[in-house]
Amino acid sequence: MNQSNSIISNYRNLINYLPSKGWTAIVMMIAVLIATPILFVVSSIFIDAGSIWKHLAETVLTTYIINSLLLMFGVGIGVLIIGIATAWLVTICRFWGCDWFEWLLLLPLSAPAYLLAYTYTNMLDYYGPVQSTLRTWFGWQNYNDYWFPDIRSVWGAIVMLILVLYPYVYLLARTAFLEQSICTLEASRSLGCSPWQSFFKVALPLARPGIMAGLALALMETLNDFGTVKYFGVNTFTTGIYDTWFGLGEREAAAQLAAFLMLFIFTLIILELWSRRQARYYQNSSPQSHVPRYHLTSWRAILAWLICFIPFFGGFLAPSLYLVDLVIANAETALENNFFDLANHSLMVSVVTAIAALILSLIMAYGKRLKDNFLINASVRIAALGYAIPGSVIAVGILIPVGRLDNAIANIVEQVLNIKIGLLISGTILALIYAYLVRFLPVAFGAVESSLGKIKPSLDDAARSLGSTPRKILIKIHTPLMTGGMLTAIMLVFVDVMKELPATLVIRPFNFDTLAIRVYQYASDERLSDAAAPALAIVLVGMIPVIFLSWQIAQSRRS
């Protein structure tokens, strides 16, 4: 009997072991699939691009580097100041409207930077409402009577990017402030620190990891931006990649520019990790959800209200109201020009990508839970690189190898079957969704992994003791408990795909436009009234996960 029980036990262990090995192999396959475009771009450094690369290095490469550094520096300073200041005010201070600003300050995330660029250019143009109103008020006759800043410049691009990217720092800084121990802050006050001293000497250093993570995300999005810098005439690596590919027809040189841009990204990541190499951040007690707030009155309350209102007004309210006004003014034609076809295209690729990202994220997160070893961890880290890589770089990394694969398959079929076939993958929706997955899979994985990590391992052990396989445990036990995290993953990926412009612009199939593409095309032709309806649709869709995220934070604070 003991021998029989031993055999049965060994058999069950083998059954449980094999699926675990299977999960490891699948996670590694996903990592290879996601990393292939990135590795191809890196390998392009060793390809001889001929005289075109020498021409780029002698003419525009220095401009690309300087403008990219200026954007990173300006946006970095701006998002840090606005994000930290607003996060501290709504978390620690009490003033009129502070509870509303907790979620209103997140709304600029729903609008991509290129929408603000198009909207503000139209608003601040010579014949726009702002300058027209100023001329009426002050009696100015023409442009020579006054000076008005030119928004189509590097500094204009910096302002647009700051207005939509500061929520990254705000969100993570506010979360860090909420998680800080009240005992730590009270200890600093008891030692004679003023509120400002407590902020600079205690709260700010403790929140540094979250703040730096938010800053890194904002700078990565800055380097990824294409629509804003292209519209403002600011030459950066993203515009250079597009111009080199489509303007000069040099794919290898475009790939090398993409590799050069990746050096910026990796340098950014390494510097952030290096800056924290010896830093450790601990709390002596659990965080307190009901942190006593400073009640602001008189001019301090007004100043705090203005500090919170101005970024919300500039990043969301003003451009949204202007788009609504344009849509109403052109109500008869707002939904024409294939609006519903564009919406259907955007909806289709967004839904398919979101579902695929969720499935792949579940596989990766659960595989890491089953076998938390070096191979799994390395595979997960590789798969998570995509979000740090700009869409234009991913597009280059996909189109060149996929094009070569298509040509190889076509040659083989023609030689063997004497049949000519077209491109199977290049220029198809499949290639476009692949690019989206490479770019946004880490977004879904972060939400899924966080949700899965809250499930106690004892549930897995209990289910296995009853004979359940890992696949059944995931489907019947974990999935119902992860509904919130899975919904968050789907919404975040859905909205990111709706807003994505660089990858869509390069990879989309012929005659397959999305809302983002049509907004870009109309704005490039100075037809913002026609672009208003698709632009407003993107903003409205983007508000859904932002409001949901704000609600989740509010619920966690009350619990």
Whether the per-residue pLDDT at 8 is higher than 50: the answer is no
Q: Which domain holds residue 434?
A: 20-328+336-557
- Closest of 527, 552, 544 to residue 350, by C-alpha: 544
| Triad 193, 194, 199: Cα angle to 5° | 90
Residue 400 is predicted with a pLDDT of 77
Residue 67 domain-assigned? Answer: yes
Residue 170 domain-assigned? Answer: yes
The string of pLDDT tens digits covering residues 540-552 is: 888 877 777 777 6
The string of pLDDT tens digits covering residues 12-56 is: 444 444 455 567 788 888 888 888 888 877 777 766 656 777 777
Residue 15 domain-assigned? Answer: no
Distance CA 479, CA 249 (A): 47
In Å, how far are 229, 471, 482 from 476, measured between CA atoms? 48, 9, 11
User: What is the mean predicted confidence (pLDDT) over 190-194?
Assistant: 62
The string of pLDDT tens digits covering residues 257-298 is: 887 787 777 777 676 666 555 455 545 444 444 556 678 888
Report the domain count for the chain. 1
Residue 366 domain-assigned? Answer: yes
Query: Residue 182 sits in a domain of what CATH number?
Result: 1.10.3720.10
The string of pLDDT tens digits covering residues 502-524 is: 888 888 888 888 888 888 888 88
C-beta of residue 113 within 8 angstroms of C-beta of residue 240: no
Residue 138 domain-assigned? Answer: yes
Q: How many CB atoms lie within 10 A of CB 196?
A: 8
Residue 116 domain-assigned? Answer: yes
Distance CA 364, CA 366 (A): 6
Residue 212 domain-assigned? Answer: yes
What are the tokens at 367? 């595989």
Distance CA 493, CA 507 (A): 18
The string of pLDDT tens digits covering residues 352-405 is: 999 999 888 888 888 777 777 777 777 777 777 777 777 878 888 888 788 778
93 DSSP β-pair partners = 294
DSSP 480-491: HHTHHHHHHHHH
What are the tokens at 365? 């997160």
Residue 525 domain-assigned? Answer: yes
